[in-house]
Amino acid sequence: MYFGLSEEQQFFQDTIAKYLEDNVTIEAVREYAKGDNQRFADDIHQGLVELGINNLIIPEQYGGLGLDLLYAAAVSQSLGAGIAPVPYIGSYVMAPLAIILAGSMDQKTKYLNAISSHELHFGFGATEYVTSRENAGIVIDGNTASGRSLFVIDGFNASHFILTTKEGTIFIVNADDPNLEVIQLTTIDKTSEISELILSNCQIEVLEESINNTSIIERVVDIGRIMIASDSLGASQTMIDKSVDYSKERKQFGRVIGSFQAVKHMCAEMTANIQPCYSMIWYAAHCQDNIPEESRLMATHTKAHVSDVASSIAKTSTEVHGGMGFTDDLGLHYWFKRIGLNRQLLGGVEINREEAAKVQGF
């Protein structure tokens, strides 16, 4: 029995990858990372929207494509491989899924149609539920909320935010609320959009089905973890490919370094380590739609394992490139840093393994 991406999923993934290959260059990313070319990211985002990334999991009745989460994971892999500096996981996977699972009919009609038509762009913050932080947390009082939300995904230029309390209640807040302060965080990864929000009696819309129902926020977070793991998988594969290409060109002592046994072993080890991650991510995404009893274990286990593997590949790939691997001219560090940030989002390795242990009753 073959288990992998279907021809349609592979085609969608390849289409995204080809678009990024043609339009996202190291030079453009370098300028964007320095803050000199915001138009570049906006243009790439618009091009990806035209390819349908905002419509993937939205049901057809709300203008979407109604595809399963394996499609979403395949796209996330391509975005990681191309280090696309665009919103995706928070805006077009976690946010619509939260509304689908927990929103009222009116909320679904209002927000899902707007996401599908690219009228609204959501940021998503779930850190308060995943793990506690000092001086952070959100308190809901009626139709208002106050507090501090950290590490909001896809928060730059968002029109709305979906946030959660530590109890798992999910709610929507308008970015134009005068009592909301949005702080753009500077992380090691300049291609990802991470924000901090400070709420002072902001007007909110609670997604009613999430009240006293932690299974919804757990599912949304787990799917976000799979998407992040898939993004890291794509970034890791690109670093391996670049290492192999570099080892065929770079010469030392009159020979290409790829002919040295030590370099061969490094490239072979990276390839051997990454291969099981593909089927692991595909199966984890498949479980979310088809095998719910295994979905949480697979999501947490996958996020932890792929984070470790990707971090190892990032380190080894840099070593294969030698001193050049640490320079800005080569640009390898953009993938390295993306993997590093992904490792921490929605819970680090230890947190995910602890949750996997609890699922198994350890």
Domain boundaries, the chain: 7-116, 122-210, 214-359
Residue range 226-253, pLDDT digits in tens:
999 999 999 999 999 999 998 888 767 7
Specify the CATH number of the domain 214-359: 1.20.140.10
Q: What is the mean pLDDT of residues 201-212?
A: 95
User: Measuring CA to CA, how many Å separate 98 from each of 196, 222, 314, 345, 354?
Assistant: 20, 12, 32, 18, 24
**Pair of tokens at residue 345:** 């989002």
- Contact between 337 and 188 (Cβ < 8 Å): yes
Q: What is the pTM of this model?
A: 0.95
Which residues, other chains included, contact 121 with Cβ-Cβ below 8 Å and sequence gap of 6+? 87, 91, 115, 154, 157, 158, 159, 160
Question: Quick one: 122-210 is in which CATH superfamily?
Answer: Butyryl-CoA Dehydrogenase, subunit A, domain 2 (2.40.110.10)
Confidence band, pLDDT 50/70/90 cuts, at residue 53:
very high
Q: Any bridge partners for residue 171, and if so which?
A: 163, 206
- Contact between 293 and 341 (Cβ < 8 Å): no
Residue range 2-45, pLDDT digits in tens:
667 889 999 999 999 999 999 999 999 999 988 877 899 999 99
Q: Any bridge partners for residue 137, and if so which?
A: 148
Is the pLDDT at 256 greater than 90? The verdict is: no
The amino acid at 324: M
User: What does the DSSP 8-state code read for residue 64?
Assistant: S
Q: What is the mean pLDDT of residues 207-221?
A: 95
Residue range 168-185, pLDDT digits in tens:
999 999 999 999 999 998
Is the pLDDT at 259 greater than 80? The verdict is: no
Burial degree of 277 (CB within 10 A; 0-12, 13-18, 19+) = buried
Q: What is the mean pLDDT of residues 302-307?
A: 97
**pLDDT confidence of residue 251:** 67
CATH class of 7-116: mainly alpha
